[in-house]
Structure formats: C-alpha cells, structure tokens
Amino acid sequence: MTGKMTPIKNFIARFSDFKNNKKLILLSAATALLLLVAVAGISAGASAKANSKPTRTLSPASHSVLRSACSSTIYRDLCVSAVSTAAAVTGQELTSQRDVIEASLNITKIAVEHNYFTVKKLLKNRKGLTEREKTALHDCLETIDETLDEIHEAVEDLNGYPNEKKSLRQHADDLKTLISSAITNQETCLDGFSHDKADKKVRKALEKGQVHVEHMCSNALAMIKNMTDTDIASFELKSNNHHRKLMEETVAAAAVVSGDGWPEWISAGDRRLLQATTVKADATVNVVDGSTTFHSATVAVVGERFLARDITFENTAGPSKHQAVALRVGSDFSAFYQCDVLAYQDSLYVHSNRQFFVKCIIAGTVDFIFGNAAVVLQDCDIHARRPNSGQKNMVTAQGRTDPNQNTGIVIQKCRIGATSDLQAVKGSFPTYLGRPWKEYSRTVVMQSEISDVIRPEGWHEWNGNFALDTLTYGEYANTGAGAGTANRVTWKGFKVITSATEAQEFTAGQFIGGGSWLSSTGFPFSLGL
C-alpha cells in the first residue's frame, strides 16, 4: 500500500522493525505508546470532569467502520475499545475494515512487547523458581519472539493485500496462518506452567497479559477471515471461479524438481551428502525429569520450508517419563518424507503453521500426534505402542483454541495399527483415534485403513464434557476392522462425513494450500481425494 502513513503507522514504523532485528525489543517504543495512551486516557478523564466530554473522539464515520469490522469478532467490546482508544489518541481515521485490522495488530504488537518485559522481570528475579519454571519462561521468550515476527509479517501482508503474485485464496491462507500461529504461541507459553501446583504462581503472573494478546489476535483473525471470505466469494461469483480455481491449482503445482527427485535449489553436493546416511537423533529429555513438553523435543524445527527425508527422530525417554517429544515442528511449508518419528507420550508435536508428512512412520502411546498446526499426514504408518499399565493410547490430541483458526490434523490414506508389543495385549490397553486437548479440537481421518486396535467408539473425552460440543471430528471412507462407525461416539462435534465435496476441504490441496508449494519439495503427494 502506498501513500501517506497514518499517525499510528508512522509511530510504529519509527520504533519497531522486528522483521530485521527481532531480538531487539525496544522499551522506548512500548513505554512511549503505552504512556501516550495512558496519558490520553487520564487527560480525557480530567477533561470529562471539567467539560463533561473527552477532548478527542472518533469521528462518526470512523466509529461506524469500527463497529462494523468488530461485529465479526468474539471479543467485540475489546475490539472496539482497544482500537477506538488508539485511533482517537493518534487522530487516525478508520476508512475500511483493513484499517481496523491493521490498527488492532499494531496495538497487539505493543501488548506482546509488554509481555516480553514481564517474562524478563520474572527471570531476573529468579530466586525460588524451579528449573522447569525457568525453562517454561524461556519457552515464553521464544514464543513471544515468534509472535512478534508473525504480527509484523501479517501487517506487511495486509498492506499488500490483495497481492497479484498470489491468488486471493493463497493470500488469505497466509494471513490466517500467521495469526493462527500467534494465538497458538500464547497457549504454548501458559501450557508450560501446567505440570506442578507450584507452577500456578508464575502462570498467574503471566496469564492476564498472554490471554489479552490471545484475545486481540482472535479479533484480528475473525476480521481477516470475514474480509477475505467476502472477497473470495465476490471474486468467485464474478469469474465463475470453480474452473478458475482448478486452473490456478494446476499452474501452481508445476514441479521445480531435479531429475533425481530433489528440489532444484539443493546443490549436487548437498544431495550426495543427504543421500549418504540416515540420521538418528536420540534424546531422553522429558517432563518427569523437569522439562516442559515444548522444550522436551529431541529435534525442534522452526523457520520456513524445512524439508526432511529418510531421517529417524526419536526420544528414548520411555513410557514412564510422560511427555517426551521426538519431533516438534513450527515451520511453515515444512515437509517430511520417509521419516520415522518414534517415542511414547507426545511423539510428534505439530506445533503450528502448515505441514505435510508422507510415507512416514509415527509411533507412540498417549496423544502421540498433537499440536495446533494445519497438517496433513498422507500414506503414513501410524502405530500405537504398548503404554504403561493403566494408560490409554490416543493417536491424536489436536489443540485448536479458536473457531476461526485454520488448523487441524488430517490423516489421509494412512494405516493406523499397533506395534507388535501392543498387538499381543491390545485388549488390556484401549486405543482411540484421539481426544480434544483444546476447546475447538479438529481432526479428520479419511480414506485410511484402521485396524481393530481402535476401540469401536473411536474417540475419547479429555475431561468430562469438555469440548464435546465444540470440537470437529470426522471420518470419511475408511476401511479395516476398526473403521466401522455404527458404535462411534455420539458427540455433537463428531460426524461421519459422507459427502466427497465436504471431504475435499481436508485434502492437501485445500487444507494446507498444497497446490502452491508441495511440488517444490520434490516429495510425492496427492492434492485431492
């Protein structure tokens, strides 16, 4: 977007360039704007007493735009009050829904910075903190850092929306992914303080700030979804887009792959190195011995466009050590081919962003595929292992916390079964397709072979009635002794999908926008059913 910068954009631009210097979080920027808003509020209050009205308010036109934009959000009062206060202080005119979204994101960025200093203060006064609490606070610094990057990139993407280099749908998916990931980061920070009673004191010191940012991000996501859905519907109506969309997917899927199956950008020397050996990464970091789930990963992947092939990721802590992650992935457009992910509880942490696994082996016990990415697992072997006595196996524990997040776990054309140690005693260890870790948990199993290791009811509750009405669980065209749906759970959120059109929404082509990026990986994939 070109043209004169609004006052709030100019203020933010002068103090915050987190994309290029994300580790430098300036106290002056946060303090200045917070003081600016605070002083304005105090002045308005004093003026109200003297003159019965504040010195500056939004224009009727701006207020109308703001109210309309915030009408799609879950936390409407927060949306209106936060943006109206900042806009009134700076004198910004709100002329479109995009103005409101951008103002909301800029305010959110300041709140995230404030949370950073709260964490730093707790670490500075570290007397009495347990090792796990210290680890959890450092996890928070990492997720705060990621959040600042994501918000910065979202504002940049918003300024260029719609971008002619991307399809409208791709641009919308990028924006929704960035803010969905930012929401997940706030939950991840707080989840680090859920292991011991002692953790609750530190959690309480952080909770208000983290939840505030989560709610602000939720509002921005709702407005982004409303804006982009409207634009896409309008575009499709004008261009008879059913055929246009298929054409775009076909063009986007043009392969950029060398003759030997590697992406062109990987040099010949690197290909030889990568083909030379299979790497096995071992670790025993786990929650029982003082780690957080987030920090327990043998291998953690962040950044963008990470590829792995013919690698084993393993956490050897064992079933008695509870959460012990083999692989944690927060890399957008990441893909894994012929990899093994082996552990017990929480083997594969699909943390955030868009991910794809093909022809992989994933094995574990409790919640062994979990997280809040938008992920498709295709043509994989998914094996439940023998857990500890008294434990139940859960293949998935998906963690969507907001109904507008574009996240979920899709298991397509896979084989769900048991390892040999479980197969012999499967009657003693109930195994289920999943349970809802968070309120809007979303998991779809389709076109997969399900063995009789899966109980007839299929799915299990997390805690009583929690999330049973708000989750989204679906099964479509599965086969095998454990695929029968006659005795499945009767929760409001569960359904047997019978429509191919509905199932298509969860394919790699649509759910993770695979038509625009999977071909560049050099890995095999299917975009449709």
pTM for the whole structure: 0.87
CA 423 to chain centre: 34
Q: Which residues of the chain have a pLDDT value below 70?
A: 1-56, 198, 239-266, 268-281, 283
pLDDT for 34 equals 44
Query: What is the C-alpha to C-alpha distance for residues 297 and 329, in angstroms, rounded to an integer?
Result: 9
Catalytic residue, chosen from 367, 381, 421, 452, is: 367
DSSP reduced 3-state for 489? coil
Query: What is the C-alpha to C-alpha distance for residues 87 and 74, in angstroms, rounded to an integer?
Result: 21
Name the nearest CA neighbour of 109 among 216, 32, 224.
216
> What single DSSP character describes residue 520?
G
Instruction: Return phi, psi of residue 12, to 5°.
Output: -65, -45
| End-to-end Cα distance, the chain | 39
Catalytic residue check, 367: yes
- By CB neighbour count within 10 A (0-12 exposed, 13-18 middle, 19+ buried), where does 469 fall? exposed
Question: What is the DSSP secondary-structure string of 401-425?
Answer: -STT---EEEEES-EEEE-HHHHTT
The residue type of 288 is V
Catalytic residue check, 379: no
pLDDT for 37 equals 47
Over residues 168-198, the pLDDT tens digits come to 999 999 999 999 999 999 999 999 998 777 6
Q: Decide if 179 contacts 101 (C-beta within 8 A).
A: no
- By CB neighbour count within 10 A (0-12 exposed, 13-18 middle, 19+ buried), where does 47 fall? middle
> CA dihedral defined by 101, 104, 106, 109, rounded to 10 degrees?
-120
The residue type of 178 is L
Query: What is the C-alpha to C-alpha distance for residues 425 and 141, in angstroms, rounded to an integer?
Result: 44
Question: What is the DSSP secondary-structure string of 232-278?
Answer: HHHHHHHHTHHHHHHHHHHHHT---B-TTSSBTTS-HHHHHHHHH--
Q: Decide if 467 contacts 441 (C-beta within 8 A).
A: yes
Catalytic residue, chosen from 145, 346, 379, 452, is: 346
Tell the residue number behind the tokens 């696994």, with chain if given: 357
The CA distances from residue 276 to 258, 260, 270, in Å, are: 18, 14, 10
